[in-house]
Structure 1
Amino acid sequence: MAAGYAELLRTRHAARLLVGTLLGRLPNAVAPIAIVLFTRAEGGSYSLAGALAAVYGVANAVGQPLLGRAVDLFGQPRVQLPAAVVSALGMVWLAAAGTGSAVAAYGSVAVAGLFTPPLEGGLRALWPGVLGGRQERVHAAYAMDAVAQEVMFTVGPLLVTVCVALWSPAVALLVLNGVGVLGALSVVVSEPSRTWRSEPREAHWLGALRSRGLLALLGAFFFVGAALGSITVAGVAYADDHGDQAVYGWLMAALGLGALVGGVFYGARQWAGAPEARLRRIVALLAVCYLPLMLVPGPVAMAALAALAGVFLAPALACAFIVVDRHAPAGTVTEAFSWLVTFFGVGAAIGTGLAGPAVELGGTAVGFGVASVAGAAALLVLSATRRVLATAGGGHPVAGPPDGASGAVAQAASGAPPAV
């Protein structure tokens, strides 16, 4: 599969778009960790840290679909770069004002979250055009995208830890957001981003949300996000229990490394059958792997359990990208992917908000227990909506990968005229 990924990256613009998007998304990927560490360094409580991370996540969730719809309507450069700059300024505001003023702290993270550019959905909208509309290559790119994300989620916490160790949490906020602006700039000045236009869309106030299959998927990934959000806070509590804040960075890196390994193995083969059924099985395994975290053993064993908890995350994301593409109504591809980011982000925000009080009331193990409950809830949603996921938004059966394309892939394959 490494050879397959190398072939994809040799395609013109592919490597630049992938790397630029990952760098542009770095501030968003590490924001919960950076906010929690910054708040604790300022003397704030776990509850305040969780609340600030939750506000960031909720604001991000509100902004992603709105900005995604704006990208579908006006193109990527007009939206992505200005949003990245404003989001970075929000984090500069937080670093300068600190947490002494609740209004300033909550306002700064709200601005940073609300204006986070929808680079993730934007990249997936670009893949069909960059890869010539070949569905198997686009699906391989989705898997590569998920694996690359886990590299970012592995390296990101370590970068935060290094910045904090060398300087301070405030400097970490500034450095990472500066990198994010440069990444967004690299993407929007590229030819595919400048020339991309969404296919014509049916006027409908619900936009992508008129697809029942998409709604079912979003409900499940709300709970997957809640699981990861709770681990973010519970991990800090675990590090405090062991008297070494560096343990937190290693736990988060292990979680990302496990997902990286899982994503590589997932992408190493062609999968038969409908991705909706495959996603249900992957999420079941993901939920089971969250349970051992409640054992809270020593740091080495805990890092191993964190890696195990991450193994099925990248496969779940890669499979979810395909499901989104199959269920997104025409002309809403960026918005549909942005809704996935939104529901994931809202879930993560709720997870961080719940884990703080859970740790303070019941201890670190109870904080990790939030992840176990959320994983089970995600599986329950997918099981309860399996019939909905088996049909398209209009009630028709979803075409399988060999027989037809939908969403972004259909747009590239059909040569549909651009619409603004």
Structure 2
Amino acid sequence: MPASYAHVLRLPHARTTFAAALLGRLSYGIVPLSVMLAVTRAHGSYTVAGAVMALFSATSVFLSPARAALIDRHGPRRALLPMTAAYAGLLGLLTALVRPPDAASPLVLGVVAAAAGTCTPPLGPAMRAVWSRIAPDPDLLRRAYSLDAVAEELLFVSGPLLVGALVAVASPAAGIAAGAVLITAGAAGFVMSPVVRAVRPEPAAATHRDGARGRVLRTVRRPVLAALGVGLALGAADLLVVAFAEEHGPGGAGAAWPLAALSAGSAVGGLLHGAVSWRTPAGVRLPLLTAGLGLAVLLAGLATGLGTLTAVMAAAGFFVSPALTTAYLLADESAPSGARVRAGAWVNTAVNAGSTAGTAAAGVLAGLLPTGWCLAAAGAATLLVAGTAVRGATRRGAPRPVGTGIV
């Protein structure tokens, strides 16, 4: 049968499982902005809101591999349900605590936000591990991962838009509550899927418990490194595009166009990448795609206006989803038996950590250098990461074929 996107969605239980996972993951696009707006309104301070968000994001991102390990060890049903219940409950508590005029102190909000981040269910890595079970054929799996990456991109674009519409008729705290409802409904639907109910933890997940973190990270070092480079480029671009727009127009309103072009290019690139039957192995494609993104961001430093920058950002976006899809595929290929959710979570963590570092570094550079030079520096750093991944591929050789293990 032809390996197409329609074929992927016609696989047994694919549509219902994927739809449930996407419903839950929409919460990730809604909750952060809602928390930021709600805390700002409660205390009238961006500093307090930023600190609370930093605690929420830090625990959510950096503890993701640990939460994924629980899913590998105990299976998605036994791990996701209590994790989701705790996360939704803490979001509900946060909703109550941010309501003015009786909002809780910044310290209490920070503690609750950090606890909520600690319990964030890793629905993305869990769904990608299930794709490996639903779509054992390599071509189908690549298309499934591409579809997943593009859908996730759209969720993170539509989430803030939904928050904007919600805030127009209700308080920002309602967005936090909506995120709790979405994650509960999505995770419940996901674990009720027959294909998820059939998943059992592999013996290896328990056998290699000691030192498992280092072992998994070593095996997925190349895709994690490439994902770090992608995140670095994206984090820097987000800030520097705003700085560029402020230099070329009143209030920086023009930043929406290059950022929208980046997302649109990513969606188009992801769909095209998944539609092609590649003969080149994922381990070879990944550094090339990462280098393409770095080169595009570097060339963005030569932009003379918003129109030029928008075109270059669209070209840069063309590499984003393909690079991340390939990183997830390579992590899935390379993961030890019983550690696929963890492998995907490490790639997730690398993207978010790279984005945070890229934004921070760009903020420092923007105060010292012209915006064009800052963009060039971000692109050069991404190219350097791609070169490191190439050297790693040369040393380590080819990964094992796709689909040789089960979740």
So what's the TM-score if we normalise by structure 1?
0.80
Q: 1:187 aligns with which of 170, 178, 190?
A: 190
Equivalent position of 2:163 in the other structure:
160
Q: 2:127 aligns with which of 111, 123, 138?
A: 123
Deviation at 1:340, TM superposition (A): 1.5
Deviation at 1:22, TM superposition (A): 1.8
Equivalent position of 1:215 in the other structure:
221
Deviation at 1:95, TM superposition (A): 4.9
Whole-Å separation in 1 of the counterparts to 2:404 and 2:186: 28
Q: Structure 2 vs 1, CA of residues 73 and 362 (structure 1 numbering), >3 Å: closer, same or farther?
A: same
Whole-Å separation in 1 of the counterparts to 2:48 and 2:368: 15
Which segment drifts farther, 102-111 or 235-244? 235-244
- Which letter does structure 1 place at the counterpart of 2:189? S
- Which letter does structure 2 place at the counterpart of 1:78? R
Equivalent position of 2:59 in the other structure:
59
- Which letter does structure 1 place at the counterpart of 2:277? Q
Q: Structure 2 vs 1, CA of residues 311 and 167 (structure 1 numbering), >3 Å: closer, same or farther?
A: farther
* Matched-pair contact (CA < 8 Å) for 2:246–2:253: no
Give percent identity, aligned residues only: 30
Deviation at 1:27, TM superposition (A): 2.7
Q: How many pairs are equivalent? A: 397
Deviation at 1:296, TM superposition (A): 7.6
Deviation at 1:274, TM superposition (A): 1.9
Whole-Å separation in 2 of the counterparts to 1:334 and 1:16: 20
1:273 aligns with 2:280: yes
* Matched-pair contact (CA < 8 Å) for 1:220–1:379: yes
Whole-Å separation in 2 of the counterparts to 1:238 and 1:146: 28
Deviation at 1:382, TM superposition (A): 1.1
Equivalent position of 2:210 in the other structure:
205
Q: Structure 2 vs 1, CA of residues 162 and 307 (structure 1 numbering), >3 Å: closer, same or farther?
A: farther
Whole-Å separation in 1 of the counterparts to 2:304 and 2:153: 24
Equivalent position of 1:398 in the other structure:
399
Equivalent position of 1:330 in the other structure:
337
Whole-Å separation in 2 of the counterparts to 1:94 and 1:357: 32
Cα displacement string for residues 304-355 of structure 1 (whole angstroms, at most 9, x for unaligned residues)? 4443332111101111122112211111111111121122222233334445
* Matched-pair contact (CA < 8 Å) for 2:229–2:290: no
Q: Structure 2 vs 1, CA of residues 3 and 335 (structure 1 numbering), >3 Å: closer, same or farther?
A: closer
Give the SS at the match of 1:410.
coil
* Matched-pair contact (CA < 8 Å) for 1:64–1:339: yes
- Which letter does structure 1 place at the counterpart of 2:285? R
- Which letter does structure 1 place at the counterpart of 2:127? L
Unaligned runs of 5+ in 1: 391-396, 413-417
Q: Structure 2 vs 1, CA of residues 39 and 17 (structure 1 numbering), >3 Å: closer, same or farther?
A: same
Root-mean-square deviation (CA), in Å?
A: 3.5
Q: Structure 2 vs 1, CA of residues 97 and 299 (structure 1 numbering), >3 Å: closer, same or farther?
A: farther
1:274-289 pair list within 5 angstroms: 274-289=281-296
Q: 1:372 aligns with which of 379, 390, 400?
A: 379
- Which letter does structure 2 place at the counterpart of 1:84? T
Which segment drifts farther, 238-247 or 21-30? 238-247
Deviation at 1:70, TM superposition (A): 0.9
Deviation at 1:106, TM superposition (A): 3.0
Deviation at 1:188, TM superposition (A): 1.2
Whole-Å separation in 1 of the counterparts to 2:394 and 2:336: 18
1:16-415 pair list within 5 angstroms: 16-29=16-29, 33-34=33-34, 43-45=44-46, 52-98=52-98, 101-131=105-135, 133-201=136-204, 202-207=207-212, 209-210=214-215, 212-234=218-240, 252-291=259-298, 293-294=300-301, 303-356=310-363, 371-372=378-379, 374-390=381-397, 397-399=398-400, 404-405=401-402, 409-412=403-406
Which segment drifts farther, 221-230 or 116-125? 221-230
* Matched-pair contact (CA < 8 Å) for 2:231–2:354: yes
Deviation at 1:284, TM superposition (A): 0.6
Whole-Å separation in 2 of the counterparts to 1:10 and 1:119: 21
Unaligned runs of 5+ in 2: none
- Which letter does structure 1 place at the counterpart of 2:405? Q
Higher relative contact order (CA 8 A, sep 6+): 1
Equivalent position of 1:7 in the other structure:
7
Give the SS at the match of 1:270.
coil
Whole-Å separation in 1 of the counterparts to 2:117 and 2:11: 33
- Which letter does structure 2 place at the counterpart of 1:119? L
- Which letter does structure 2 place at the counterpart of 1:7? H
Q: Structure 2 vs 1, CA of residues 175 and 309 (structure 1 numbering), >3 Å: closer, same or farther?
A: farther
Which segment drifts farther, 363-372 or 332-341? 363-372
Whole-Å separation in 1 of the counterparts to 2:48 and 2:365: 13
Deviation at 1:97, TM superposition (A): 4.3
Deviation at 1:359, TM superposition (A): 5.3
Whole-Å separation in 2 of the counterparts to 1:380 and 1:130: 34
Deviation at 1:198, TM superposition (A): 2.9
* Matched-pair contact (CA < 8 Å) for 2:293–2:379: no
Whole-Å separation in 2 of the counterparts to 1:135 and 1:69: 25
Cα displacement string for residues 35-68 of structure 1 (whole angstroms, at most 9, x for unaligned residues)? 55556666444x7666554433321233211111
Which segment drifts farther, 244-253 or 281-290? 244-253
Whole-Å separation in 2 of the counterparts to 1:237 and 1:100: 34
- Which letter does structure 2 place at the counterpart of 1:130? I
- Which letter does structure 2 place at the counterpart of 1:398? P
Deviation at 1:248, TM superposition (A): 6.3
So what's the TM-score if we normalise by structure 2?
0.82
Cα displacement string for residues 82-133 of structure 1 (whole angstroms, at most 9, x for unaligned residues)? 32333344444555545984423432332232211111121122123323x3
Deviation at 1:374, TM superposition (A): 4.7
- Which letter does structure 2 place at the counterpart of 1:57? S
Whole-Å separation in 1 of the counterparts to 2:51 and 2:333: 35
Q: Structure 2 vs 1, CA of residues 3 and 134 (structure 1 numbering), >3 Å: closer, same or farther?
A: closer
Q: Structure 2 vs 1, CA of residues 255 and 323 (structure 1 numbering), >3 Å: closer, same or farther?
A: same
